[in-house]
Amino acid sequence: MMGNERHGLIGVIGSDLLRHAKIPVILLVAVLVSAVLVVTTTHETRRLTAQREQLVLERDALDIEWRNLILEENALGDHSRVERIATEKLKMQHVDPAQENIVVQQ
């Protein structure tokens, strides 16, 4: 007799869905998986975009520092500046090559 059999509600619903509604269940699972993948992909895209922005800012800062270092190198390597420091601080004098031979020979 069927009246004495006890079936759980979830078991009855599950077996009924599998027996009569396979395509809708498959579509429901596909939609849920798709939704989770969309959320995961969106999150990863936003994280990578923020990381890229941070790297672009770092690159710009390093670019500015590089330009400043080149300007500083050019300023420190300027011949007139080197000559001025040599004459003022080190008390060096510019020697004429013609006079140098006379001084050395004496």
What pLDDT is stored for residue 53 in this prediction? 98
Tell me the average pLDDT across 86-106. Answer: 70
DSSP assignment letter at 89: T
User: What tens digit of pLDDT does each residue of 27-73 get?
Assistant: 999 999 999 999 999 999 999 999 999 999 999 999 999 999 999 88
Confidence (pTM) = 0.51
Q: Does residue 102 carry a pLDDT above 60?
A: no
Residue 1: the pLDDT is 41
Phi, psi of 94 (to 5 degrees): -75, 130
Question: Are 86 and 92 spatial neighbours (Cβ–Cβ below 8 Å)?
Answer: yes
**Rounded Cα–Cα distance for residues 67 and 61 (Å):** 10
Tokens of 13: 């619903």
Residue 84 or residue 55, greater confidence: 55
Q: Would you list the domain boundaries of the chain?
A: 20-94
